Structures are given as C-alpha cells and as structure tokens.
Amino acid sequence: MEFSANHYTLHPALTDFAPALVIFDKDGTLIDFKRMWGHWILELARRLETETGQPIAAPLFKAMAFDANTKIMDPAGPLSIAPQAEQRHLILAVLQQSGLSAAQSETALTAAWYLPDPVKLAHPLADLTALFGTLRHNGAKIGIATADDRAPTLATLKGLGLSAMVDGLACADDGRPIKPAPDMILNICRTLDIAPAKTIMVGDNADDLRMGRAAGVGLTIGMLSGVSARADLTPFADIILGSVAELLVEQRPN
C-alpha cells in the first residue's frame, strides 16, 4: 500500500507527546538485527577458517558473545553494540590467541573481512515509509543514531527508500563518543535546533535508552524486536513495545 496520511495514525503515546523529533536506532529497531549480523558473523568465521586453516569459529563466537546454535546474541556483547572498528580489534586478538602472529592475523583478517550487504540483508521490521511519513505528517523530524558506520547506513537508507525522510544521522565512525554517551542525540538535536526534551529515543538495546536518558530526551521507547529482553529494557524505558510496527496504526474505513 502506498503511503497516505489518511491511512495511518500514530500510537497514542506519540500522539500525546507530540514530538518534534524521533530518533531511531537502526539494527534491531528498524531492521532485523539477527538476519543481518548473525549471517555476517557466521560467514566471517567461515572465511577466517579458510584463510588461517585454524578452528577460529568457536573462540570467535565466544569473544563476540554469539551462540551459533541458537543465533542468540548477548545484548551487551560486542556483536550487539560494538562499532566495527572495535569488533575488528577483538577479532585480531582472537586470531593471535590461536597462535598467529600480529602480522599473520592482520593479513588473514584483511583477506576475510567484509561488510554485510546493507541492501540485500536489510529486512525492515515495519512499513518504514508509512511510519516515517506519518511522523513527518504530524510535524516530527526523523533521526537515526546507530552503532554502524556511516557508509553502510547511508546505503541501507537508500536501499529502503528512506534517505529523503531522514533529517539527522549519527554513526559510529563520526568521531564522537558512542552509545550510551549522549553525544549522538545531542548532535542531532543541535543540528536540527530541537530540544532533547521534545525528542523521543526508540531502540532495542539498553544502551540506546541509556543514551536517551543521558541526553535528557522526553520519552524513551524500548523495542523487543532486537537482541534484548523486557528485563534488559525496563530500567531505562518509559514504554516497551514489540516492534516499531506498533508505533503506526492503520485506520480502517468505516
């Protein structure tokens, strides 16, 4: 269904708050985290074992807090929250612990390293065009604050047809402190000249919501669509929903 402002309304919590800005985490909130990053770590382990001839997978998964059998990720683990640069350093340490020299480890990781396809593997967790369009129709600007790097984030937004609907973007490689520090939110708010108190932060990880609280946003909304359980989010969330799909209510004709 094509977006029409007459087709949708917002969750009552958003309507009551009337935000000037809604900032979303990306992976696990807007798109399926496990589908993208679970696939990535499994493929990276395979490539590293091919490059090194060593049984790298098990210690790699342990270091990244990933269970290859269940595909469950620790919400506070490196695979869930660490930027790619930090993950790379961690993987180099795993390779060296397997017996490779620093030079051999760097060579193997450089050969095996790849980024998940930001278009092919970006499975949206809602009709994001409708969600963003309805928010904008109701006077809210849209921001994204992600632990991913800027280039793949821009590619993801373009692939999903959302680029023109996003007003502010903060990424892990922008050179600012990352979640749960407040800097990502504060930078977006400053750029758009919107007070944090008129802003909502939406995320699937406690660090997203802790960032929101630290920045002084008016409302934090936790999502159960990523790697976190309700108990992980409850201390930092004003509201907890199943997914961002619940922020949008389709209006049925009479």
pLDDT value at 214 more than 60: yes
CATH architecture assignment, domain 8-31+122-250: 3-Layer(aba) Sandwich (3.40)
Burial 75-85 (b: 16+ CB within 10 A, else e): beebbbbbbee
Peptide bond connecting 180 to the previous residue in cis, omega within 30 degrees of 0: yes
pLDDT at 202: 98
**Confidence label for 176 from pLDDT (cuts 50, 70 and 90):** very high
**Least confident segment among 26-30, 120-124, 216-220:** 120-124
Higher pLDDT pick, 1 / 182: 182
pTM of the model: 0.87
Q: Are β-strands 21-24 and 141-145 bridged in parallel, bridged antiparallel, or unpaired?
A: parallel
Q: Are β-strands 199-203 and 72-73 bridged in parallel, bridged antiparallel, or unpaired?
A: unpaired
**Confidence label for 2 from pLDDT (cuts 50, 70 and 90):** very low
Residue 30 CA to residue 35 CA, distance in Å, equals: 12
pLDDT at 6: 63
pLDDT value at 254 more than 80: no
Whether residue 198 contacts residue 21, with contact meaning beta carbons closer than 8 Å, is answered with yes
What is the average pLDDT score of the chain?
93
pLDDT at 253: 60
Taking only the tens place, the pLDDT of each residue in 70-105 is 888 998 899 988 888 899 999 999 999 999 999 999
pLDDT at 250: 80
pLDDT at 4: 54
pLDDT value at 120 more than 90: no
pLDDT value at 213 more than 60: yes
pLDDT at 1: 40
Peptide bond connecting 83 to the previous residue in cis, omega within 30 degrees of 0: no
What residue spans in the chain does CATH classification 3.40.50.1000 cover? Answer: 8-31+122-250
Taking only the tens place, the pLDDT of each residue in 28-86 is 999 998 888 888 999 999 999 999 999 999 999 999 999 998 888 998 899 988 888 89
3-state secondary structure of 137: helix
